[in-house]
Structure 1
Amino acid sequence: MTLLVTGATGTVGSEVLRQLDAAGVPARAAVRDVERARPELPAGVSAVRLDLEDPPSWPAALEGVTRLFLLRPPAIARTARLQGFLDAVVAAGAAHVVVLSVQAAGRNPVLPHRQLERRVEATGLTWTHLRPGYFLSNLLTVHRDEIRERSEISVPAGGGRTAVIDVPDLAAVAVQALTGPGHENRAYELTGPEAPTWAELTATLSAVLGRPVVYRRPGAGRFLREQRRRGTPAGLAVLMTGLYTVTRLGLAGRTTDDLQRLLGRPPASVADFARRHAAAWQ
């Protein structure tokens, strides 16, 4: 069994690689720049150059690959651009693809994530679709500075609820789907049991950090302008505004028991996550 992990230096891909390495499962990290990525990878993981839109990079990356962890680069909105790569995956003799998708993909056919799922299904390979909720790790990246420096979170989510997931829990399911049987042609909607409002989330942060963290509720237009002033790229700022507006409309709070059932234990809670990473916001 030869595993190839795309997005190997990203939030999810790096954790999938870390857990595979810890379990003693050989895996190949697919990256765009091998030398630049090498320091970020576990010591025992081999790296290979792969650009999903550069066909000459495909043969070496896919040689002998039997199972693939696949995520869509945010810059590729039109999944037709990935069809050639999927054809190459089939030609290389792979058997199974684990797709990192989003929670709403099963209910919104126009999402590029769902379009990628359908393209993978059409290859004839077996597949597993992972549809996670909101990554708690966004509190360490997107919202880290405002929590640490201003003790606030400012998002246009109103009083809407957000189903959340801790990335190590998501990665543990990905490892299961990559290494074991029983996940073929299954789609998992992965969330913890909590779907806090942002007021509840900041209250948890306040309790853990021992200082008030305030939830501010700008309108969508104001939020977008604030993000652009802070240097957020236009595409990402628009995406963030859309995601938080979905929350405000009450469409992001659905929870399932898929994650707990697959893990065989309770998923990490918001409080667990906050305690584990408290130093990042001090």
Structure 2
Amino acid sequence: MLKILVMGATGNVGREVLRLLLSHNCNVCAAVRNPDTAKDILGSNIECVRFDFTNPDTFANAFVRVNKLFLVRPPALANIRKEIAPALDAAKLAGVKHIVFLSILGAESNPFVPHSQIENYIQKLGIKATFLRCSFFMQNLNTTHREDIKTRGELLLPAGNGKTSFIDIRDIAAVAVRTLIEDRHQGKAYTLTGSEALTYYEVADIFTSVLGKPIRYNPSLLKFIRKMRSSGFAIDFILVMVAIYTTARLGLASKITSDTEQLLDRLPLTIRQYIEDYQQFWLSS
């Protein structure tokens, strides 16, 4: 039976990938740093195996009889040759035949981002791969930006008036599962976006409409940095966030493709649908 190992299993995309894979005829396993605590998050019906990119001793057991791998780069790991490549070497040695990698929009033309380096390394290894180059996750708005929206009615991020082709992680996961189950996607790269590109002013207006309370967009870079620092985020993480939003401010995140629609045989979820489905995150209890 096909065995699929899912990395980033306790994250937003990984959890949804696991949930969807359970309805398919395959052996699904979650690669996690701590199987005991992961069970509390994922539930007892998910098989968990200990895996840590920074601990090569965990590699061999994690890849036993694995045919396909859903690969997610941990945000804290940026030195690809030192921190990611050894695990990919072990995957090839163990006989992994196909990797579906959660990449980012524009990775193919930006050699400086870690995702681009991972794509190149997988290709050098000669493992068949599918690259999912995703636009900005809608779900960042109910995680990273949740408290700003909920407690202050403020969407605080330095994206200027640039448009973003947001994508729902539920659509990403659905595409990931299809590319894992169907062999016809090997050797392909898909640029996954929503079907609309919006400014954050427009997003704030939709929040206001759905939540029934005023949400204001604040594009101040200085206030964003100060707020992130006061919230305890490391400066390196903040600088990455600023770079991402600068991409949006410059209009480089507005690209819309038909890949998501074609792969799912339906239109991608909209930002309004997302806010409606997740509204409990921003409404006071």
Shift of 1:113: 0.3
Q: Residue 193 in 1 paired to residue 198 in 2?
A: no
Bigger mean CA offset, 174-183 vs 23-32: 23-32
CA contact (8 A) 1:26 1:45 kept: no
Q: Residue 158 in 1 paired to residue 166 in 2?
A: no
CA contact (8 A) 1:17 1:42 kept: no
CA contact (8 A) 1:108 1:114 kept: yes
CA RMSD of aligned residues (A): 1.2
CA contact (8 A) 1:21 1:44 kept: no
Q: Residue 26 in 1 paired to residue 27 in 2?
A: yes
Which residue matches 1:174?
Answer: 176
Shift >3 Å, 4+ stretches = 22-25
CA contact (8 A) 1:50 1:61 kept: yes
Deviation digits for residues 197-254 of structure 1 (CA, Å, limit 9, x no counterpart): 0000011111111121111120x33321221022222222111111111111111111
Deviation digits for residues 62-108 of structure 1 (CA, Å, limit 9, x no counterpart): 00000001111112111102222111111111110011110120221
Shift of 1:24: 5.0
Deviation digits for residues 33-74 of structure 1 (CA, Å, limit 9, x no counterpart): 111111111442200000112111111100000000111111
Which residue matches 2:42?
Answer: 41
Structure 2 CA distance for partners of 1:154 and 1:13, relative to 1, 3 Å: same
How many matched pairs? 281
Deviation digits for residues 139-197 of structure 1 (CA, Å, limit 9, x no counterpart): 11011111111111111111000111000100011001111121011010000111100
Opposite residue 160 of structure 1, the aligned amino acid is G
Length-normalised TM-score, structure 2: 0.96
Which residue matches 2:269?
Answer: 268
Give me the whole-angstrom Cα distance separating, in 2, the residues matched to 1:204 and 1:194: 13
Opposite residue 13 of structure 1, the aligned amino acid is G
In the TM superposition, 1:80-159 aligns within 5 A as: 80-81=81-82, 82-159=84-161
Opposite residue 50 of structure 1, the aligned amino acid is F
State the SS of the aligned residue for 1:58: helix
Bigger mean CA offset, 104-113 vs 229-238: 229-238
Give me the whole-angstrom Cα distance separating, in 2, the residues matched to 1:277 and 1:88: 39
Shift of 1:119: 0.4
Which sections of structure 1, spanning at least 5 residues, go unmatched? none
Report the identity percentage. Answer: 39
